[in-house]
Chains A and B, each alone.
Chain A
Amino acid sequence: MAIIEVIDLKKNYRMGGSEVPVLKGLSFSVAEGEFVSIMGPSGSGKSTLMNIIGCLDRPSSGKYLLDGLDTGKMSDTARAHVRNLKIGFVFQSFNLLPKMSALKNVVLPQMYAGHRKDYRHGKECLQSVGLAHRIGHTPMQLSGGEQQRVAIARSLINEPPIIFGDEPTGNLDTSTGAEIMEIFTRLNREGKTVIIVTHEPEIARYTHRILRFRDGLLESDEPVV
């Protein structure tokens, strides 16, 4: 069953007086449990696509169904709930809150899920990414790789079916990047649908399927051999 289904998706941006098309009609779907990478040069529209499938932005036309729900028709609040419960975000620049400890950063999405903070579950998540010993440290006291692990733990706390990685290894050295990709691979094996945006072929090689974009159109869609 397709957990993500994109049908003739278009997105225009208003630049000055004219409309600039960024996404020019995309159609593809991602099944539950897939491990997909999205590639393309800058300006190909992959960030825009990422924002739309991450429910941060709306398409200008076309449809995007997430778990069978048409996100284009959702209210701002409903989309916030989707981001909170269905999607785990991992960013290139980690995006942890600098004043909070690793553990507090991890349990933050729980506060917006409407239930009490569960620190034990937060510790479990940190343990699963190999950071059980640094729960009290603030992001400033952690290395890049460790920060990204905290970010992954945070994305897991509400147990969403989908994990988005937006250039998750972009700020890391090769070996640390490899470690992070190992974690994503494991998560995929445990049943999560994982989508990674990247422009590095070595990173894309960890995944099972590569979607290439160019000039707002899907250029190729092929499995990794």
Chain B
Amino acid sequence: MGILDAIQTGLAELFSHKLRSMLTMLGVIFGVAAVIAMVSIGEGARQEMLQQIKSMGIDIVQVRRVMITGELMETAQKKSPYGLKYSDAEGISSVCTYARRIVPVREIFADIKRGDKPLPVQVVGTTPDYSSILKLQLQSGRFLNEGDLKERSCVCVLGSNARKQLFGFEDPTGRTVKVGMRLLRVVGVLEYKEKSESRAFSSLRDVNSDIYMPLSIAMTDYMIQSQQQMPMTYRGVRDLFMKMITRTSLDKSPISEIIVQLKDESATEATAEVIRSILNRAHRDVPDFEIVVPSLLLRQSQQAQRIFNIVMAAIAGISLLVGGIGIMNIMLATVSQRTREIGVRRCIGATRWDIVRQFMLEAMVITCLGGLIGVLLGVVGARVISVFAGWITVVSVRAIILSFGVSALVGIVFGLYPATRAAMVDPIDALRQG
């Protein structure tokens, strides 16, 4: 009996019991669909994360200000009253002489209004190198330059959303934006950056809504943006007041973030350790900063992906196992129902192997068809999820091939026992029956 004949027989058998076949296939269909959909979501999340990490640059080390709250606050106020400060950036640059760029960032507190309406924009004081690290593209004009920094020029560069918020569709070049007490002249506008790219990993700032100004003005003339609660003690309030009225020297001025870009991306983790020890000494072991190493995150995310994959494989395995048992159950019922047919086939010359092959192929037809429907359902499911939940899903060809292959394998494994049962049917008994 040719394989094509056997497949044809299997299909005919399948279509003569449509409801039963459908119910039999359901286990495999849902198993495969779930695998495809979940792998697509996982793959989408992974690629999005990779893109974020990579857009942040795997050759950088990021140091961020951390607010100290609760019990540690008192000691923190005493030992390291300014938190992350400008001198930390200088300290890092004096030790990490091999760094390509070191950029301090100060997110400042300033209400930007258009008319009376406050706008959801963030003002950021930084240095010219910032744009090269974040790979910002200019739409028009220029970014901040060294001259602005030195001469404390009252200029700013707008992110594309900030421009839209402030000026609508008018050309903002040469016009001014009121930031706090000062009027800043717009010298450049940035190109729109895709959200997933613009968002630096795990920090929620959106480059498109930023307004950039020279760090030198930001440090002297504006308060740092801070989520710190008002201190509730007398000393706390007094210290805060003192800080406000005394003009602190420039190097003690608090900053939000220091971005260190290296020439060699393999040195990021070692550099992170160096920076940690510098800052620990400078801050007298107060944990008011955190260090983010995108390349490390990348590695960790790959590790997490491996675990996710193992869990996925286990879920897929279980659902396909259950589906397979269902198929075996139905196949066993089929064998006893078709004993007479088996007897006839054996009588007119089918060998045991012919019978085994026929029933195996019938089981495989069920699982492969189930797998195929499952793949379609999974792909559609992934699409639906990405449309309605807004997640990025990536249907991987590897997952499709793998789950289809596994469903064929399920057919072989769970069809084997019913098929051997069928082959063991004694033709004499079978023909005497019914």
Most chain B C-beta atoms within 10 Å of own C-beta, residue among A51, A57, A95, A116: A95
B352 touches A116 (CB 8 A): no
B12, B341, B349, B428: the one contacting A84 at CB < 8 Å is B349
List, in ascending order, chain B residues with CB within 8 A of A54's CB.
347
B344 close to A (CB within 8 Å): yes
Question: A117 CA to B4 CA in the complex, in Å?
Answer: 11
What does the 1/0 interface line of B414-434 toward A look like (CB < 8 Å)? Answer: 000000000000011001000
B341 touches A80 (CB 8 A): no
A95 touches B351 (CB 8 A): no
Contacting B at CB under 8 A, from A139-161, are 154, 158
A109 close to B (CB within 8 Å): yes
Question: A112 CA to B1 CA in the complex, in Å?
Answer: 5
B352 touches A95 (CB 8 A): no
Contacting B at CB under 8 A, from A42-97, are 51, 54, 56-57, 76-77, 80-81, 83-85, 89, 91, 95-97
B345 close to A (CB within 8 Å): yes
Question: A89 CA to B343 CA in the complex, in Å?
Answer: 12
Contacting B at CB under 8 A, from A82-136, are 83-85, 89, 91, 95-97, 99, 108-109, 111-113, 116-117
B250 close to A (CB within 8 Å): no
Question: A111 CA to B427 CA in the complex, in Å?
Answer: 18
What does the 1/0 interface line of A197-211 toward B look like (CB < 8 Å)? Answer: 000000000000000
A89 touches B347 (CB 8 A): yes
B354 close to A (CB within 8 Å): yes
Question: A113 CA to B349 CA in the complex, in Å?
Answer: 8
B230 close to A (CB within 8 Å): no
Contacting A at CB under 8 A, from B267-293, are none
B351 touches A154 (CB 8 A): no
Question: A81 CA to B347 CA in the complex, in Å?
Answer: 10
The size bracket of the interface on B is: 20 to 34
B346 close to A (CB within 8 Å): yes
Closest-by-CB residue of A relative to B349 is A84
B348 touches A109 (CB 8 A): yes
A51, A80, A117: the one contacting B349 at CB < 8 Å is A80
Closest-by-CB residue of A relative to B427 is A56
Min Cβ gap A54→B in Å is 8
13 pairs of residues in contact across A and B, judged by CB atoms under 8 Å: A57-B428, A76-B352, A77-B351, A77-B352, A80-B350, A80-B352, A85-B349, A89-B348, A95-B343, A112-B349, A112-B350, A116-B2, A154-B348
Closest-by-CB residue of B relative to A95 is B344
List, in ascending order, chain A residues with CB within 8 A of B350's CB.
80, 84, 112
Q: A91-B431, A116-B2 are in contact. Are A77 and B344 (CB under 8 A)?
A: no
What does the 1/0 interface line of B1-44 toward A look like (CB < 8 Å)? Answer: 11001000000110010000000000000000000000000000
B428 touches A80 (CB 8 A): no
B2, B12, B345: the one contacting A108 at CB < 8 Å is B345
Closest-by-CB residue of A relative to B340 is A95
Closest-by-CB residue of B relative to A51 is B428
B347 touches A56 (CB 8 A): yes
List, in ascending order, chain A residues with CB within 8 A of B348's CB.
83-84, 89, 108-109, 112, 154
Min Cβ gap A203→B in Å is 21
Closest-by-CB residue of B relative to A79 is B351
Q: Which 9 A-B pairs have the closest CB atoms?
A: A84-B349, A112-B349, A80-B351, A111-B1, A109-B348, A77-B351, A95-B344, A83-B349, A112-B350
Min Cβ gap B48→A in Å is 52
Min Cβ gap B137→A in Å is 67
Min Cβ gap B376→A in Å is 28
Question: A108 CA to B342 CA in the complex, in Å?
Answer: 13
Min Cβ gap A158→B in Å is 8
A95 touches B349 (CB 8 A): no
Min Cβ gap A164→B in Å is 10
Besides A83-B349, A108-B348, 12 new A-B residue pairs in contact (Cβ under 8 A), listed by A number = A56-B347, A76-B352, A77-B351, A77-B353, A83-B347, A95-B431, A97-B344, A99-B13, A109-B348, A111-B2, A112-B351, A154-B348
